[in-house]
Amino acid sequence: MASRSPDPVPPGATPDLCNAPEDPVLAGFRRSIDNIDAALIHMLAERFRITQAVGEYKAAAALPPADPVREARQIERLRKLAVEADLDPEFSEKFIRFVIEEVIRHHQRAQQR
């Protein structure tokens, strides 16, 4: 009879720690983080649904896929919001630039259809 292999141990963890009872305070923090992560995914999905419609509109109206002036305004606005929210503005800029680059890629694909 084949024995079941043990559950994998996450990198950096020791097998003994993986079997320890979970700390209730830590578990509460992790539940909150999991909920926030789920909300972020849903917000990003909604954002991309809207930007997809923008890309289709731009393609139909023969508008360029990128709008550098708006992008610069958005980055500056979100950097200010990050400071107000006590979030690293460099991180927030990297994040929004990543999102903008992905949106532009989608808009470019819409123009090729």
Residues 6+ positions from 96 with CB-CB distance below 8 Å: 74, 75, 78
Would you state the pLDDT for residue 21?
A: 80
**In this structure, which topology does domain 24-112 adopt according to CATH?**
Chorismate Mutase Domain, subunit A (1.20.59)
Per-residue pLDDT of the chain (113 residues; tens, 9 = 90+): 555 555 565 666 655 556 668 899 999 999 999 999 999 999 999 999 999 999 999 999 999 999 999 999 999 999 999 999 999 999 999 999 999 999 999 999 998 88
Instruction: Give domain limits for the chain.
Output: 24-112
Burial of 108 (0-12, 13-18, 19+ CB in 10 A): middle
Give this prediction's pTM.
0.73
